[in-house]
């Protein structure tokens, strides 16, 4: 069974329970971008082997942000493989306590208002969304710099979904890993197409919409979100769509 697919040059998508992880490869090995939910563990291991590597080839874990559905196996990767886990300094406390996140709107109302999202949230729960262990000892992602790990991504501050959210730009590959700053599936509403995530999980929607400017400035042709399918119509068009949809 195929568990991984190449979605940009040297970038591989591992999709589990409507949450996306990515593997960046180059001659130095692999970087894991975002660590999904606990249930992705075996699938992630199979994916590493399917693309011709071994777990020991994983050199780093980069977190776009530290919500529970993006740190699911970060601690396990850190402990088992001895690899550093990177995130923006604003994410340190959240990474240690991934359920203590700021959000604008009550979460309980969303399944009632958006019943089509219930199967998505149920799948996430079954994948371990209710028992994620936090991770500590993070290395800092610094906006405007290149991280010296496989893939050499450039850090793009895109705060709003969380206060330290960072997208990762691969300019030589024309690719932007947008995390949850811009997604093509909102798990809380089940709406598809480029957008920011609903206030049930976003700290500041106005800030998130402003941060779209930083994403657009990358000029990336391929956008790889934290939830939903890759977008190949260019970041500028994706940002236009997201602004038109607005906050929810």
Q: Which helix or strand (DSSP H or E) is residue 208 part of? A: helix 205-216
Tell me what pLDDT residue 111 has.
82
List, for residues 153-202, the tens digit of each pLDDT value. 999 999 999 999 999 999 999 999 999 999 999 999 999 999 999 999 99
Structure tokens at 122: 């149920």
47, pLDDT greater than 90: yes
Q: Considering the entire predicted model, what is its pTM?
A: 0.97
Cα of 40 vs its chain's centroid, Å: 14
Q: Count CB-CB contacts under 10 A for residue 163.
A: 17
Mean pLDDT (whole number) for 7-36: 98
Tell me what pLDDT residue 112 has.
80
1, pLDDT greater than 80: no
Tell me what pLDDT residue 153 has.
98
Angle, helix 235-245 to helix 205-216, in steps of 10 degrees: 160
Q: Where are the domains of the chain?
A: 5-245
**pLDDT band (50, 70, 90) for residue 110:** confident
Structure tokens at 120: 């998505």
- What is the b/e burial string over 72-109, where b = at least 16 CB atoms within 10 angstroms of the residue's CB? bbbbebbeebebebbbbebbbebbbebeebebebeeee
List, for residues 58-82, the tens digit of each pLDDT value. 999 999 999 999 999 999 999 999 9
Tell me what pLDDT residue 3 has.
82
**pLDDT band (50, 70, 90) for residue 125:** very high
**Cβ contacts of 51 within 8 Å, gap of 6 or more:** 4, 6, 12, 23, 25
Q: Which helix or strand (DSSP H or E) is residue 192 part of? A: strand 192-195
Q: Which residues pair with 25 in a beta bridge?
A: 30
Q: Which residues pair with 139 in a beta bridge?
A: 86
For residues 179 and 223, is the Cβ–Cβ distance under 8 A?
no
Among 90, 88, 96, smallest CA distance to 68 is for: 96
For residues 121 and 111, is the Cβ–Cβ distance under 8 A?
yes
What is the DSSP-derived secondary structure letter of residue 146? B
2, pLDDT greater than 90: no
Tell me what pLDDT residue 107 has.
79
Among 108, 99, 107, smallest CA distance to 67 is for: 99
53, pLDDT greater than 90: yes
Percent of the chain residues topping a pLDDT of 90: 95
CA dihedral 31, 179, 229, 126 (to 10 degrees): 90
The correct CATH number of 5-245 out of 1.20.120.160, 1.10.760.10, 3.40.50.300, 3.60.15.10 is 3.60.15.10
Q: What is the mean pLDDT of the chain?
A: 96
Mean pLDDT (whole number) for 207-222: 98
Tell me what pLDDT residue 106 has.
84
């Amino acid at each position: 069974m195929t568990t991984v697919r190449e979605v940009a040059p040297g970038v591989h998508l591992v999709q589990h329970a409507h949450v996306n992880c990515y593997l960046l490869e180059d001659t130095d090995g692999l970087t894991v971008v975002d660590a999904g939910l606990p249930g992705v563990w075996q699938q992630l291991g199979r994916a590493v082997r399917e693309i011709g590597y071994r777990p020991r080839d994983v050199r780093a874990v980069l977190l776009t942000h530290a919500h529970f559905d993006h740190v699911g196996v970060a601690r396990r990767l850190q402990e088992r493989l001895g690899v550093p886990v990177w995130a923006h300094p604003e994410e340190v406390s959240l990474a240690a306590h991934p359920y203590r996140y700021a959000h604008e709107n009550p979460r309980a109302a969303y399944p009632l208002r958006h019943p089509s999202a219930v199967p998505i949230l149920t799948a996430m729960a079954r994948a371990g969304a209710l028992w994620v262990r936090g991770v500590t000892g993070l290395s800092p992602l610094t906006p405007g710099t290149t991280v010296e790990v496989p893939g050499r991504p450039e850090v793009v501050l895109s705060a709003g979904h969380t206060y330290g959210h960072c997208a990762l730009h691969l300019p030589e590959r024309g690719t932007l890993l947008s995390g949850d700053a811009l997604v093509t599936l909102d798990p809380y509403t089940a709406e598809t197409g480029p957008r920011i995530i609903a206030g049930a999980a976003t700290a500041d929607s106005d800030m998130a919409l402003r941060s779209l400017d930083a994403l657009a400035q990358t000029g990336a042709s391929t956008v790889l979100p934290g939830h939903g399918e890759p977008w190949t119509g260019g970041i500028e068009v994706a940002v236009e769509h997201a602004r038109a949809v607005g906050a929810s």
